[in-house]
Amino acid sequence: MKFEILDGVEIVEGLGLFLRRFDVLVIADLHIGYEAALEKQGITLPKSQYPKIKKTVEEMIRIVRPKVLIVNGDLKHEFGEATRQEWKETLDFIDFIRSMGIELIVVRGNHDNFLIPILKKKDVEFKDPSYTLGEFLFIHGHKQLNLESFKQTIKTIVMAHEHPAIGVRDELGVRRRFKCFLVGKVYDKNLIVMPALSPLMPGVEINNVEKDELLSPLLRVADIEEFVAIVYEGGEYFEIPLKEIR
């Protein structure tokens, strides 16, 4: 299911972003290999994340039929050298996307150290630190952004990294967390913040953290109170102004 947030820009299945004019689907924060990282900490989980990611991405592709898929950072998880799981699942993901005739572009995230050897094996484009497409600028969001170095034609910044979610209590007093998109303005540009695609990343409750505790330098200088959270739940989209729940 799609939901238009800007002219020609649609949320897909609550986790992806589709740029209709360019036939581009954007996803972020897959964190492939997260289970292996947890195992190093003594936490054992079945390696079930990647099949869920593939299923979600496949559904998005079925809905919008993109020509290009952009991974806007954190394709893998481990900060250090890529694990065996990351090699195996990342290579499979590349083959999976290309088997559908879709071009794959990866923007560097803070977890994407040692990703280059994997991408080189399949000749995948790796954009560091950003990627520009028409009036859109794609950044992961972990670094300070100097907008003066970018063209004045940039109208919309698309970033990830923050893993935004909102936390609310239901009528029974049970606290629930919902991943969300954030849409607002920064430096007179549109700013779209994407949720994490990884099913193992529940997200940061953006309505319950102080501004100086936000992960992204760009969000810390934005007027976060004026942003809108967009949640996809039960087959419906909900627009929630942050100033009403912070």
DSSP string, 153-205: T--EEEE-SS-EEEEEE-TTS-EEEEEEEEEEEETTEEEEEPPP--TT---EE
What CATH number belongs to 2-244? 3.60.21.10
Distance CA 12, CA 124 (A): 24
Interatomic CA distance for residues 159 and 216, integer angstroms: 9
Supply the pLDDT for residue 175: 82
Residues 206, 167 contacting (CB under 8 angstroms)? no
pLDDT of residue 150: 67
CA neighbor of 37 nearest in space, from 91, 74, 92: 74
Q: What is the mean pLDDT of each run of 10 residues along the chain (246 residues)?
A: 96 98 98 90 86 98 98 94 94 98 98 94 96 96 78 91 92 86 95 98 93 93 96 96 92
- The Cα–Cα gap between 25 and 20 comes to 9
DSSP 234: T
> What pLDDT is attached to residue 170?
74
pTM to 2 decimal places: 0.96
Report pLDDT for 148.
67
Write down the pLDDT at residue 186: 93
SS3 103: strand
Token representation of residue 122: 């399949």
- Predicted local distance difference test score (pLDDT) of residue 23: 98
